[in-house]
A = this chain, B = another copy of it.
Amino acid sequence: MTSATPRKPHLLHLCWEMHRAGPPMQDLAHGSVFLKRCFVFCLVEQLVDEILKLNEDPKIHGLVLDLPIGALSGRVINSVTPEKDVDGITDVNLGRLIRGDLSECFVPPAASAVLQLLDQAGERFNTVESSSRWITNQQRKRWDVRALKLQPLSPVPSDIEISRAQTPKAIEVLAKEIGLLAGEIESFGRNKAKVKLSLLERLKEHPDGKYVLVAGITPTPLGEGKSTVTVGLVQALGAHLGINSFACVRQPSQGPTFGVKGGAAGGGYAQVIPMEEFNLHLTGDIHAITAANNLLAAAIDARILHEATQSDKALYNRLVPTINGVRQFSPIQLARLKRLRVDKSDPSTLTPGEVSNFVRLDIDPSTITWQRVVDTNDRFLRKITIGQSSTEKGFIREAQFDIAVASEIMAILALTDGLADMNKRLGNIVVANNRKGQPVTAEDLGVSGALAVLMKDAIKPTLMQTLEGTPVFVHAGPFANIAHGNSSVLADKMALKLVGEQGFVVTEAGFGADIGMEKFFNIKCRASGLYPNVVVLVATIRALKMHGGGPNVTAGKPLTKEYTEENLKLVADGCSNLQKQIQIAHLFGMPVIVAINVFKSDTEAEIDLVCQIAKHSGAYDAVSCNHWAAGGRGTVQLAEAVERAANEKSTLSFLYDLKLPIVEKIRTIAQKVYGAKDIELSPEAQSKVDLYVKQGFGDLPICMAKTHLSLSHQPERKGVPTGFILPIRDVRASIGAGFIYPLVGTMSTMPGLPTRPCFYDIDLDSDTEQITGLF
């Protein structure tokens, strides 16, 4: 401190993009003297000249350099005299600084980091305070998002034709429009960007927006359009009502894209674009999961082989080698010693018993639950025998590959709230038991750090946009068959901060509300601490007719006339399922808006009837939606209803206490949600429950693996089945993800390719570089 009275900061803002940095100039000036001028320099020379002049100006106490990275060369930085304080950009430093000594980090609107901190506390405080205020105001206001115009055609073209006809905004443009700083995004080509988690730190004091869950009634095998409603709803909110709004959706598996189902990016005029980038590779998250999953799998079998073929001493010498005369444990080995309650750090001091405990995981191969994965529909890998090469010395065993999205690592990605938490969850993954019945984890195998390294980019949500130019986060997509089937906690959290208090985040729960929504509340909301405001329940006349007693609906077969002609009786009877699903949402204390996803063959009388019944059944509102044919314009009524309902008071109540015994938790879900009379555990299921309790995993939430085609376990029972006993065939655990999953019947974890897979129609035009047939 060279002066007794702290001076006010006299900073000069050297701005590069004035249309961005304009406002803070005035605002930052609070209590300071700022030159309200904007310098824009074409040549580094000019900039340097200007800085040299400013060096001589005693009124200027410091500089905020708000420049594109390319211009912030060493020459520029070095031209500032040491007497001046410099705040400036580089995205490299952002992460460091946010975690640095400026916990209330100074983040000017377009700059991203402080190169040299103000050296006087008073000044720092003022700067930080006024800067924060500016950002807060910024974040509370409505975005200036340029909507992309839609001119829907009739008949509606194929999804890829619609997607291709629209030119998305460059992703940097969208990022800027929604208040992301340049240093917070990592572009992946022109249309996708990963968003850094540091955003959560920057906006942590900001209020969340409104949180909307899109769920569905029990669907037909064709699906009832939850994804299109999700996308259509944000198109309506954002592009038509001018409300800050975000969709958070799942990344689709590539397996089905080339198999039976085709892509998944919404559909018709409610899509995430470009749809081919959404469906293929995206930003590599599923590939990262595959790599991490399979590294762990390879580590398990290799370890079994090495333990079986080596003495304790040989193992120890290899696991803790002497390198350049020094022998030491790696940090992950020290962690294992700690778990073994061996409080030593010098490898030479372990007793033979301790050595043996340390080097032998003693995995019981019959208890291995960790499977390999591929993101391909490869039915021949459902059951395989591995280790048959002579190099594996006869250690053969039966194994399987699952589809990549069924990996527990995908569930972890969806539930984690940050890097530290992800690392912990990855380490906690239980892959097998040892011969004493104790769990063996990824950390025991020494591989959890490597898994985290493989997942370090996948943890950042990917920003894309809808057909109408509103923002979408695509992140995670756990297999709804055996996991919770919801997109990521992190994407929801980031979106809720970005939209601001008056904005909306819309996310989707896989399958019917009895499965996806129940897991959303009991698993995802517990993990995130976020409470939604409204549930949108998607229904189709088609599905309601099926529940009302209509003939079977099968993929690939034409619909019968019950579905193509008006039939009010079937609709009315089928509304039993809708009523039940509304009640389920009410169990959690949520207001429900029924969204009827309208098809061409639906009649006005049918739609009116459903709306009437829905409202009588306690729905806050019921509206028809026409987003598939009309885009956001077709969902404005739904958006308005959602906006109204979000202003109602709602309180989330969980369905069960985690402290309840596992079996009680399962029974609660079966009875209260599915309407079962009771549950029945197989002996295998019961013994697994006992094991998990013994291992200390009794307090985890439950993730039911049940068919989505019925409220019961029998897909053919439509409407609202009653009186059934829900059989629990087996119980498994995803300890890293943090849930127990009871298997109700046999759940496939690897789809197959049909005789004529989708890939027959898919091609790449080598002249135009355009994809054809991806629908």
Contact = CB atoms under 8 A, between A and B. Distances in A.
Contacts of A281: 284, 287-288, 291, 454, 457
Interface in A23-62: 38, 40, 42-44
A271 interface: no
Contact of A287 (B95, B284, B395): B284
14 contacts: A90-B167, A187-B188, A281-B291, A295-B376, A298-B377, A298-B380, A298-B753, A302-B378, A302-B380, A330-B761, A372-B374, A384-B388, A449-B763, A452-B763
Interface stretch (A690-698, A706-714, A767-775): A767-775
Given A70-B173, A70-B176, A189-B187, A387 B391 contact: no
Contacts of A167: 90, 92
A82 B766 CA distance: 33
Given A281-B287, A449-B763, 17 more contacts: A22-B43, A70-B176, A99-B767, A99-B768, A254-B291, A294-B374, A299-B757, A302-B379, A318-B755, A382-B388, A382-B392, A384-B387, A422-B766, A446-B760, A450-B758, A452-B764, A453-B764
A172 interface: yes
Interface in A738-775: 752-764, 766-769, 771-774
A612 to B, nearest CB: 34
Interface residues of A, number: 118
A377 B291 CA distance: 11
Contacts of A38: 42
A644 interface: no
Given A280-B453, A418-B766, A449-B763, A380 B398 contact: no
B392 A379 contact: yes
A150 to B, nearest CB: 14
Contacts of A436: none
Contacts of A382: 388-389, 391-392
A318 B385 CA distance: 31
Nearest to A281: B284
A69 interface: yes
A333 interface: yes
Nearest to A447: B759
Q: Is the interface of A mostly helix, strand, loop or mixed?
A: mixed
Q: Which of A70, A288, A387, A419 has the most chain B CB atoms closer than 10 A to its own CB?
A: A70
Nearest to A149: B74
A341 interface: no
Interface in A374-422: 374-389, 391-392, 395, 398, 400, 418-420, 422
A299 B386 contact: no
A73 interface: yes
Contacts of A332: 760, 763
